[in-house]
Structures are given as C-alpha cells and as structure tokens.
Chain A
Amino acid sequence: MRLSGRDVGCVRGGREVFSGLHFKAASGEALAVIGPNGSGKTSLLRLIAGLLAPASGSISLEGGEGELTLSEQSHYLGHRDALKPALSVSENLRFWRGFLGGAPSNPAESLAVVELDHAAQLPAAYLSAGQRRRLSIARLLTVRRPIWLLDEPANALDASGQKLFAALMGDHLARGGVIIAATHTPLGITARTLRIGDAP
C-alpha cells in the first residue's frame, strides 16, 4: 500500500493555506506533519480523509482494498472526538464498532488496552480530556483501518498515555499500516517529517 500526494494545494476561505506539497507514505511508514499554527496541518489531514477537496494536485492510494476509497480505509482522529456525552463509554465504542463495521472485535478488550475498562459504564460526559482521547484511541483499535490520520494525537494524554499510544502506533506500523500525524511533540516512533509552512 502506498499513499501519495502530488502537488497538493489547499485554499480555505479564499486564502491559500499551502500549495505544491508532495508527500508519500508506504505500508509500515509514519509521516509526521509539522509546522507552525495555521500552516494547514489539520487541513492536510482533512484533505487526505476526503473531508475537503484539494484546490490543486491529487492524493492517491495504490494497493489497499481495491473497491474502497481512501477515506473508507482511513481512521480520522481529530480535535473533536465524536463522543456522545449522554452515552456510556462502552455504548459509544459499541456504536462506532457497529456503524463503521469491519472485522468483529471485542470493544471491552480495546477499553482494557487504553486502561479505561474501569469506566466502561460511566457516561462519556464525566470523562476528562485525557480519558476522552483514550476512548477515541480505543475506536482506532476496535475497528481496523489501515490508514490512521491523527491530529495532535498526544494532546491531553499523560506521560504513560503517550508511551502507550506510541506502542500502539508501533504495532499498527508493524502490521503494515500507515500513519500520518500532525504534531508539535515527538510521536515516540520513527517517522519521516513533512514540514509545511515556514520552518519554525
């Protein structure tokens, strides 16, 4: 599998955010997108996820499952964590397992991996920011997708959480997955760097 972008440009609200961006990532590779605030890191991830249309250039995926589009094979972990405060932790996770489909898996196991199993019956409204992030990470584990698009994944995670997530990303890469992460802090895995905007 090989994800590549050629000459990608992005325009938001009439302003050019970036242009002429080249990148590629093959199976087992991670790409860390770095750049100052407002340089378009989130926009790039949303372009790859198919949530925005590129103003120029193209993003393509070779290999992978032929009949599925790039966005259907991707997980997007954004700033907004897609959790319903009225539902419990395990209800949130079971919903995404049921809706996103894929291979059957046990949500309880994923909760145990992210150390949230003690809070499974708690409404998501009572979770802290770090716990919400851990629950979002559990979604990545419950439903398998080869491409992970991560926007500031380490935000709000404590030191042990960051270490845990680095190990999970390592597992994902070892399984042949692709990770593209917008980040300000080191990911804790070997990753190539894609710099956008002016170098800080």
Chain B
Amino acid sequence: MTALGALIRRDIRIALRVGGGALIGVLFFLTVVVLMPFAIGPDLALLARLGPAILWLGALLASLLTLDRLFTADHDDGSLDLIVMSRTPLELACAAKALAHWLAAGLPLVVATPVLGLLLNLDVGATAAVALTLFAGTPALTFIGMIGAGLAVTLHRGGLLLAVLVLPLSIPVLIFGVAASEAAIMESQSFGAPFSILCALSLFSLVVGPFAAAASLRHGLD
C-alpha cells in the first residue's frame, strides 16, 4: 500500500508542478467550450440543447490530450523499468497511475463544469446533472485511455495513435454520458437507466484497464 501511495503522490505532485499535465487538460477544456458559443451563435435555446454534448466532447478530448504522457514520461526516463522490476504487481501500479491521473486531470474538469455551464446557458439543475455524469464517466475515459497509452508507450509521438485507438472504445461512454445528462434536463426520459450504464462502464474499465495496460506494457518492453 505504501508503494502505491508513494506512486500516486508522486504523479499528482508532478502533474501540478510547472510543465505537468493537470492544467493543460483544463485549459483545453475551457478553450473548446468557450469557443462553442462563438461558433454556434447567440441562439440561447440551441446552446442549452447542445450544452451537455459540448461539455462531454470537450472533456473527452481534454482527457485524451494528457493521457499520452501517462507512461511515456516514465518510459523515457527509465522509471518504468524500475516499476516493472519492483515488488508491486504491475497491474496495481498501472491502476495507481491512472487514479493519480484522474485526480490531477479528470477531477478538475468536473470542477470546471459549473463555470462553463453558464456560458452554454445551462441552468443550475442541468449543470449539476452534467457535472454528475462527468464525475461518474471520466474515470472510464482515463482507464480506457490507459490501455492505449500502454500500447503506444514505445512509440515517439504516439499521441495521435492513442487517440485513434481509444476514441472508438470511448464512444459508449460518450453516448450514455450525454444521454444521462439530457434525460436529467428534459425530465421526460428516464435518468436512471443511462446513468446506471455509465457507472457500469466506469466500473468495467476500472477492472479491465489495469490488466490490459500491464499486459501491453510487458509486451512492449525493450
């Protein structure tokens, strides 16, 4: 446990320092969402209707943006060799790294959502619904993305490959995340069903992600 705690603390500390990835994701999220009203125009009803989808798309792209450094940074400086050799199972180390990444880069997206909801003419209830679905769904994005990060670890400039590998896998998360937020806003559809599926996707990726990432890291050792 101390080993995993040490790994999580270190990754969060690096992410929050200068040059770390935590702020980059949030800034990208801000940029994408802030630009949307200018592109779509001042139609408030349209903005409110597209709001959840825009926020979800922004969060998905922002989490992909920072994921490609998840393992490459450790690979490039040799830390990954020592992590593989250590007495901590690689699966648990992967899970710890993904958790640290979510705390440093995923959670700030959820925190930024209420501010951005204002720009998209979402009322308090709708903003809370989107924030809740992002809170439940962004772990799935991180843990699924981790698989791609593990596969692309030995490639330089693997960021684009990561996006191509991971985006198809994250489509279900996007569908049910947006569906649950819209259900909460419309109140005509059931919120429970899509939200439960979203939570199930997160839990599923929490289990599968670390094993798949560890397997691809072991395979890619050189």
Contacts and interface: CB of A to CB of B under 8 A. Distances in A.
Question: Do A and B interact?
Answer: yes
Contacts of B37: none
Interface residues of B, number: 27
B86 A82 contact: no
B215 interface: no
B156 interface: no
A190 to B, nearest CB: 27
A99 B78 contact: no
Interface in A94-117: 94-96, 98-101
A84 B82 CA distance: 13
B108 interface: no
Interface stretch (B11-19, B110-118, B162-170): B11-19
A82 B81 contact: yes
Contact of B81 (A49, A72, A84, A91): A49
A101 B14 contact: no
Contacts of B78: 78-82
B88 interface: yes
A174 interface: no
Contacts of A91: 10, 13
20 contacts: A49-B85, A50-B84, A71-B85, A72-B86, A80-B78, A80-B81, A81-B78, A83-B77, A84-B14, A84-B77, A86-B17, A86-B18, A91-B13, A98-B3, A98-B6, A99-B3, A99-B88, A100-B3, A101-B2, A101-B3
Interface of A: 46, 49-52, 68, 71-72, 74, 76, 78-84, 86-87, 91, 94-96, 98-101
Given A99-B6, A101-B3, 12 more contacts: A49-B85, A68-B87, A72-B86, A74-B85, A82-B81, A84-B14, A86-B20, A87-B13, A87-B17, A98-B2, A99-B3, A101-B2
